[in-house]
Amino acid sequence: MTDDSRARQPKRPQSGAQSGNGIGLDGETRKHIGRMLKATYDEVAHEPVPDKFLDLLKQLEAAEPRKR
């Protein structure tokens, strides 16, 4: 697309929810989604690491040559 063809395309009108941020969500909705995502990921971050993963990490550390 050339600069001339971009200049000829009609611009879409922006509603109040879309102006400024380019997303069609109002501020309260974005805040709510953010709170819900944070709560979900906070729960996951505090779960214990499964034993299978801890065993794999131990195996990797044992196989890694010492750097001293």
Rounded Cα–Cα distance for residues 68 and 66 (Å)? 6
- CA gap 14, 6 in Å, rounded: 18
Specify the pLDDT at position 61.
Answer: 92
- The tokens for 57 are 């990490």
33: Cα separation from own chain's centroid:
12
pLDDT tens string 4-62: 555 666 655 555 444 555 568 999 999 999 999 999 999 889 999 999 999 999 999 99
pLDDT band at residue 65 under the 50/70/90 scheme? confident
Residue 17: predicted pLDDT: 47
